Structure 1
Amino acid sequence: MEIILYNDHLIPSEEAKIDMEDRGYQFGDGIYEAIRVYYGQAFLMDLHLKRLERSAKELFLKLPYPLDQLKSRIYELIEKNQIKEGLVYFQITRGTSKRNHRFPENTDCVITGKVSELKRTDVVHKKGIKASLLDDIRWLRCDIKTLNLLGNVLNMQKAYEEGSLEAIQHRNGIVTEGCSSNVFIVKDGRLITHEANNFILNGITRLFVLELAKEIVVTVEERSFTTEELLEADEVFITSTGAEVTPVIQIADQIVNQGKPGPITSRLMELFEIKIEELAKVSL
């Protein structure tokens, strides 16, 4: 029996009900996080919750209870569902009220969450993926992790129809990020990724990889770069909670690094793997 989080309670999934006038359902008026589970441990949980808190502040959402309490509920959810490798997804909406574009004056936020099994067996991602190159059609506050993902969905569908597993997006020739990932390039030994401003989501895996880059003493530049720089890069990879560190070996019709993961990408993948294996020792 699947157990889910509903507000401050863990209940069987079949007991959950979402009101027709929940603002998350009607307006996408809410925020979410997705946290990877390795060896029964929620990976980088504190960073995810810190970002959740920021997203709530940006949307003027008052969290219904403290983050420490939410953290406890998430671990209870993992334990109750006996998940060792998986993904926790939870969202917070502004709550239920009569449909009106203005914020309701008296309503309580609604928290829902679940944990699903997700195995780390995707060989395709380790060898590298093809990405499309598409116009970024999203709104201008991509730094907030909201439920409004239709722009991402439309571009991901287009990428799928082009035989790609991700779409690298750009605004007037400036690369921003993927539909569900951050984008890195390597040129002449320098690791380059878009600065964390309103045009991208400051990914938790992005932040983690930037820390890993310090261990291999690579020069890091957080700055805007063009589609021309992207296509001329020595290496390209994406990062996300789901994709971890995934090489991009083809962009549209152009092959990157002879269709193989590059040396810096490969080293970062190795370091990421080491950090995950360290969690195995914690779980013993």
Structure 2
Amino acid sequence: MSIGYFNGDYIQLDQAVVPIDERGHQFGDGVYEVIRVYDGKPFMLDEHLRRLITSARAIKLQVEQSEEHFKALILEAVQKSNLLDCDVYLQITRGIAVRKHLFPEAPLSVSMTVRPMRVIEDSVRENGVTAMFHTDERWANCYIKSLNLLPNILAKQTAQDRGCFEAILVKDGYVTEGTSSNVYILKDGTVYTTPLSKQILSGVTRMAVEKVTHSLGIPFIEKMFTPDELLGADEVFMTSTSSEILPIVKVDEKDINQGNAGELTLKMHKKFKELIK
């Protein structure tokens, strides 16, 4: 069953628990992670927790709990949910205090949900999804996985309204990433993706993709590429915790690989599933 957690207590998801002066609620003053659990085992949990702590430090959240504490908390919550395949959302905020911009003297708030895994149907993956280009209007520190996602939400909704699965963000003439994904192109048997910087999130699934490409003997190169280069690619795909490795077959109404899911992309996803096991 789906369950929630807030500052030490397990709760029902429809139970009201967040005070009006919670800084995550009022300012988006916090960070989060989404961890996927397969067969009761969190996938790449250490990498997720390292990124969580890195994000917390970047916004000057003084997290006293260790990564081992959060690991135990997640495992306990998954066990209580009785869900084998699920998505865990973990959030840390600057706590509960009277609203003002300066940091308060208050303990941090920790909340979490455990819900059944959102699964992308095999038919969707085999047929691929569509996307559109959208100007990257986000702030300068996208490497921080913060709660401030309004530009992402607006771009994602624009894509949805136009019948697309994802919006591919473009800044200064180059692709950065998706609204909730990393983006890759395949050209002449080589995978290219945007180099890590403050402008993009260091995706945990991206780390897995790098391992997968190496195991398959596919070169993996970090290199900036333009929208035109993306449209001219042999294959295009996106990755995230929830979408895993997902082919993109059309961008701005222009077919990629004649509108078919790429053979190498599907091969990488098959290898990714083996990595999970």
Report the TM-score, using the length of structure 2 for normalisation: 0.96
Counterpart secondary structure, 2:184: strand
What corresponds to 1:198 in structure 2? Answer: 198
What corresponds to 2:17 in structure 1? Answer: 17
**Range 244-253 or range 256-265, more displaced:** 256-265
Q: Does 1:160 align with 2:160?
A: yes
Counterpart secondary structure, 2:90: strand
The code of the aligned residue for 1:258 comes to: Q
Q: 1:108 to 1:227 in 2, by over 3 A?
A: same
What corresponds to 1:212 in structure 2? Answer: 212
What corresponds to 1:281 in structure 2? Answer: none
**Identity over aligned pairs, percent:** 39
Q: Is the 8 A contact 2:126 2:266 kept in 1?
A: no
What corresponds to 1:4 in structure 2? Answer: 4
Identify unmatched segments of 5+ residues in structure 1.
279-284
What corresponds to 2:99 in structure 1? Answer: 99
Q: Does 1:113 align with 2:112?
A: yes
How far did 1:263 drift? 2.4
Q: Is the 8 A contact 2:119 2:242 kept in 1?
A: no
**Range 259-268 or range 171-180, more displaced:** 259-268
Q: Does 1:70 align with 2:76?
A: no
Q: Is the 8 A contact 2:2 2:115 kept in 1?
A: no
The code of the aligned residue for 1:206 comes to: R
CA–CA distance in structure 2, aligned partners of residues 193 and 151 of structure 1: 22
Matched residue count: 276
What corresponds to 2:228 in structure 1? Answer: 228
Q: 1:191 to 1:63 in 2, by over 3 A?
A: same
The code of the aligned residue for 2:117 comes to: L
How far did 1:214 drift? 0.4
Q: Is the 8 A contact 1:52 1:145 kept in 2?
A: yes
Report the TM-score, using the length of structure 1 for normalisation: 0.93
The code of the aligned residue for 1:52 comes to: L
The code of the aligned residue for 2:55 comes to: S
How far did 1:247 drift? 0.1
Q: 1:262 to 1:94 in 2, by over 3 A?
A: same
CA–CA distance in structure 2, aligned partners of residues 213 and 8 of structure 1: 41
The code of the aligned residue for 2:209 comes to: V
CA–CA distance in structure 1, aligned partners of residues 120 and 91 of structure 2: 27
Q: Is the 8 A contact 1:141 1:198 kept in 2?
A: yes
Counterpart secondary structure, 2:53: helix
How far did 1:57 drift? 0.7
How far did 1:119 drift? 5.0
Question: What is the CA deviation profile of residues 62-85 of structure 1, one whole-angstrom value per residue up to 9, with x for unaligned ones?
Answer: 114222111111111111111111
Q: Is the 8 A contact 2:87 2:118 kept in 1?
A: no
CA–CA distance in structure 2, aligned partners of residues 30 and 136 of structure 1: 22
Q: Is the 8 A contact 1:236 1:248 kept in 2?
A: yes
